[in-house]
Amino acid sequence: MGVSRALLRFLVSLSLIIQAAVTTANFFKPFNVSYDHRALIIDGKRRMLISAGFHYPRATPEMWPDLIAKSKKGGADVIQTYVFWNGHEPVRGQYYFEGRYDIIKFVKLVGANGLYLHLRIGPYVCAEWNFGGFPVWLRDVPGIEFRTDNVPFKEEMERFVKKIVKLMREEMLFSWQGGPIIMLQIENEYGNIESEYHQGGKEYVKWAAQMALDLGAGVPWVMCRQSDAPDNIINSCNAYYCDGFKPNSHNKPIFWTEDWDGWYTKWGGRLPHRPAEDLAFAVARFFERGGSFQNYYMYFGGTNFNRTSGGPFLITSYDYDAPIDEYGLLSEPKWGHLKDLHAAIKLCEPALVAADSPQYIKLGPKQEAHVYRVDTNTEGLNLTQYGSQSRCSAFLANIDERKAAVVRFLGQTYHLPPWSVSILPDCRNTVFNTAKVGAQTSIKMVEFELPLFSNISARQQFTVHDEVSYFSKSWMTVKEPIGIWSKKIFSVQAILEHLNVTKDHSDYLWYITRIYVSDDDITFWEEKQVRPTLTIDSMRDVLRVFINGQLTGSVIGHWVKVVQPVRFLQGYNDLVLLSETVGLQNYGAFLEKDGAGFRGQIKLTGFKNGDIDLSTLSWTYQVGLKGEFSSIYTVEENEKAGWSDLMVDAIPATFTWYKTYFNAPDGTDPVALDLGSMGKGQAWVNGHHIGRYWTLVAPKDGCQRTCDYRGPYNSDKCTTNCGKPTQTRYHVPRSWLKASDNLLVIFEETGGNPFDISIELHSVRIICGQVSESHYPPLWKWSLPDFSDGSISINNTTPELHLRCDDEHVIASIEFASYGTPQGSCQKFSKGNCHAPSSLSVVSEACLGRKSCFVGISNSVFSGDPCHGVVKTLAVEARCASSPNTLGASKL
Ligand code: GAL
């Protein structure tokens, strides 16, 4: 018995050791990273690097492996993330590195997948993140001024940066230790605001750079948007386009740390979309004109869980229109088109790293070529390290925003669509053009679960546009008190600044006082037919005015004037002002001074004896909500809250908590709650804060019916969602759910109908492809440039149409297939004059029941030429389904 127990213990500890070894094992052998004027030099070799921006706390650790794998599959070499100070040090000196903030685990996962990591420590990060990543307690450090030559700030900043670098070193995560970290960042876009700090700003830049370098991290540091970055720090570009960027020294390479592939959104804003063709154009132009490191900001945006959204007014979703969407699903064709682009750039890498700079050739008024050519030793380079005798790769660009162009290049003719770049890895064959999308389009749909009680009846499917409402029978409710609810209150004869009181432990701060109204005042108002008015010089973000327990007015805005007529009764009136923040400022100079709540004069006007200066009254302060501080959203505490059943015909309007239980939908598809029936508040699932919600509607106008990829992008171009609430769906990560009895708790401020809340499953349901005979053959079929003459070769030049459903899904039916001259676009395809009768059977044969498939685009595949002398296209629309058993056989 004793022996077997000892053996068991031994086996258990052995397996733990093995497990630990596996999870901490580094993919890499130790390697050095340096740089020259052309590129990062990794293990002795210059590299062209594609980086995927992805912030670990914007997903759950359970989502990280899949997101990292999808980044790698999309062609990323590097993952880039910020480090979030306020997440890691919520209380000064108390560090937190667990759960979504387990940065060590994240970095190790990146390394274990064979990807490099660019760690942007900041510690100011901007990032649409609360307070730009600064802990709110930093405001309270005596004598502090942020981001300038200020001793208290520099001490705090240095302490945190040191802490992170030390942690990474202890965990052996730097490249020279065999870890994935190849590059770091100090500060963030300080150049944007430096001039506001005058000499102090200049000193601070020098100090920050030296402080970083002195840490001896052993990998290069960048400062983005910092044209006065000192010698040993690479200053990099952040923008929609960076192909004209010049670093501040000939010794530094051209790096693009933030390629904005979409944009963020505010409550009440439209949803921005950056077209894949334009994004690919920007990236191709960057590498064309000498760039060597490019990071997508964001490759995966994710979700601002909890109250991490920056501000003011940034929404909970941080989808960003990124190649991987908020739920972790691929956004197609963006992801696939970029994947093809990356493969094309990789085919050019040997020439790109071998040549010191491109040769520019003017091809037309708005057409140009950049050629990377190296002949044997002509440039005095030791080319053997690049494994080549001679190399030539070229980019042909047509920067005309309207017109296509035909150009001649090295004796051959090339057709260039408007606003596009063709990539020629051997200076002869075009393998990719940024405006020609061969990747599939995916249409994501939402499957509605019966609200919160999946045992009630079967699921139904709707497209995203369908409206549906389900009624759950059991919701419970409890009122949130207006004003004082605890003994932790205090009174002073002053209006205090909001953050000085809340320390951001809550969005909410109650200001409570009493106003005496005489008979004379009432008569005065009646005679003059006027009402007293609350006026405040300036206020942010939301103000709610309660008189005698009734909500009588709301104001929303960022440092706006308040002029709010009010109504009082004779005698003593309770006046309660609720000040709310909706994400703290994350951008700009002097953040520590920004504060929240009220500024300037605050008074009641229109009384018989003149105005009442409210700042001279005694105010009682109550921080936060009772429900929030008694944790009624947690599984452990919620029962104590005194819930009562909610009746359909008696839904309380304002300041109410609701709760219910629900079963998790089957399967692995990502889950969201549709809170479109609610007003404004916060929601928790099993104690996890899924974020703020707010059903503010975007302006009716300003969206484009069609999105033209041509011409420079900005965040007002190609917007959608006009006249609709900016966000109604809120991601509930699968790992926060159990099979049944999940506790959902909602705090609602303004009124809404919880009975209309539903659960949704997100997945790709429709996939479409459209590829013509004249398209390029798949990129992976090209062999790398030939050693002897630098040319690339291909065995089979047939283009192919590729389709793929998400994980756990298969192609269940072919909704449309036509080889010939099909018209329209995804979900609107129709047959043209030319159509091969075998189209549907060929595609069905290749694809049905499979997770992914491909079909060659040639006459032989479709048993003959359906129309001689015409360029044929294959267009397919297919449906993906989760269960192989329920395939749409009837469609066959
Ligand atoms: C940049 C900033 C990022 C992010 C981005 C907009 O200027 O460096 O952190 O805020 O803008 O999404």
pLDDT reading at 258 higher than 90: yes
Q: For residue 715, how far is its CA from the centre of ligand 1 (angstroms)? A: 13
What is the rounded CA–CA span in Å between residue 528 and residue 334?
64
**Sequential DSSP letters for 208-231:** HHHHHHHT--SS-EEEET-TT--T
Phi-psi region of 121 (alpha: psi -120 to 50; beta: other; left: phi over 0): alpha
Q: Whose CA is nearest to atom 3 of ligand 1?
A: 127
What is the rounded CA–CA span in Å between residue 809 and residue 761?
13
* Residue indicated by tokens 């920056």: 310
Alpha-carbon distance values, 758 to 445, 467, 656, 698, 726 (Å) = 15, 11, 19, 22, 17
| CATH code of residue 702 | 2.60.120
Q: Enumerate the active-site residues.
A: 189, 258
Structural domain containing residue 653: 442-480+629-762
Instruction: From 329, 412, 390, 338, select the one nearest 763 (Cα to Cα).
Output: 329
Q: For residue 170, how far is its CA from the centre of ligand 1 (angstroms)? A: 30
Q: Which residue has the higher pLDDT, 363 or 785?
A: 363
The gap from C-alpha 736 to its chain's centroid, in whole angstroms, comes to 20
Query: To which H or E segment does residue 186 belong?
Result: strand 181-186
Mean pLDDT for 471-478 is 78
CA atoms within 13 A on the CB side of 150: 18
What are the pLDDT digits (tens) for 684-722?
999 999 999 999 999 999 998 899 999 999 999 999 999
Phi-psi region of 115 (alpha: psi -120 to 50; beta: other; left: phi over 0): beta
Paired sense of beta strands 233-239 and 254-260, if any? parallel
Query: What is the token pair recorded at 470?
Result: 């389900």
- Do 139 and 44 sit in the same domain of this protein? yes
Determine, yes or no, domain membership for 397: no
Mean pLDDT for 194-222 is 98
What is the rounded CA–CA span in Å between residue 679 and residue 694?
6
- Do 746 and 837 sit in the same domain of this protein? no
Under the banding of pLDDT at 50, 70 and 90, the label for residue 469 is: very low
Determine, yes or no, domain membership for 561: yes
The residue from 622, 657, 674 where one domain ends is 622
Cβ < 6 Å from ligand 1: which residues?
Answer: 125-128, 188-189, 238, 258, 264
| φ and ψ of 205, to 5 deg | -60, -45
The residue from 294, 316, 331 where one domain ends is 331
CA atoms within 13 A on the CB side of 843: 30
| CATH code of residue 564 | 2.60.120.260
- Do 162 and 87 sit in the same domain of this protein? yes
For residue 269, the 8-state DSSP code is P
Q: Whose CA is nearest to atom 5 of ligand 1?
A: 127
Q: Whose CA is nearest to atom 11 of ligand 1?
A: 127
Determine, yes or no, domain membership for 769: no
Determine, yes or no, domain membership for 602: yes
| φ and ψ of 573, to 5 deg | -120, 135
pLDDT for res 385: 42
Under the banding of pLDDT at 50, 70 and 90, the label for residue 468 is: very low
Q: For residue 188, how far is its CA from the centre of ligand 1 (angstroms)? A: 9
- Do 148 and 297 sit in the same domain of this protein? yes
- Do 49 and 168 sit in the same domain of this protein? yes
- Do 518 and 561 sit in the same domain of this protein? yes
- Do 182 and 130 sit in the same domain of this protein? yes
- Do 755 and 873 sit in the same domain of this protein? no
Beta strands, E only, 784-832? 800-804, 810-820
Q: For residue 127, how far is its CA from the centre of ligand 1 (angstroms)? A: 5
What are the pLDDT digits (tens) for 36-59?
999 999 999 999 999 999 999 999
- Do 581 and 724 sit in the same domain of this protein? no
| CATH code of residue 322 | 3.20.20.80
What are the pLDDT digits (tens) for 621-669?
999 999 999 999 999 999 999 999 999 888 888 999 999 999 998 899 9
What is the rounded CA–CA span in Å between residue 604 and residue 610?
9
CA atoms within 13 A on the CB side of 82: 28
Atom number, ligand 1, closest to the C-alpha of residue 263: 12
Instruction: Out of 69-83, 767-781, 839-853, pick the least confident.
Output: 767-781
What is the torsion angle, in degrees rounded to the nearest 10, for the CA atoms of residue 782, residue 787, residue 790 and residue 796? Answer: -20
pLDDT reading at 1 higher than 50: no
What is the rounded CA–CA span in Å between residue 393 and residue 284?
13
End-to-end CA distance of the chain: 63
Q: Whose CA is nearest to atom 4 of ligand 1?
A: 127
Q: Whose CA is nearest to atom 9 of ligand 1?
A: 127
Atom number, ligand 1, closest to the C-alpha of residue 188: 8
- Do 473 and 601 sit in the same domain of this protein? no
CA atoms within 13 A on the CB side of 750: 18
- Do 732 and 818 sit in the same domain of this protein? no
Determine, yes or no, domain membership for 395: no
Number of domains in the chain: 4
pLDDT for res 463: 36
Determine, yes or no, domain membership for 208: yes
The residue from 762, 790, 814 where one domain ends is 762
Alpha-carbon distance values, 172 to 26, 107, 122, 178, 310 (Å) = 9, 11, 21, 7, 32
Query: What is the token pair recorded at 144?
Result: 């502090």
- Do 636 and 697 sit in the same domain of this protein? yes
Query: What is the token pair recorded at 284?
Result: 């191709």
Determine, yes or no, domain membership for 793: no
Residue 393 bridge partners (DSSP) = 372
Determine, yes or no, domain membership for 81: yes
Q: For residue 716, how far is its CA from the centre of ligand 1 (angstroms)? A: 16
Alpha-carbon distance values, 860 to 199, 428, 823, 836, 854 (Å) = 72, 27, 22, 11, 15
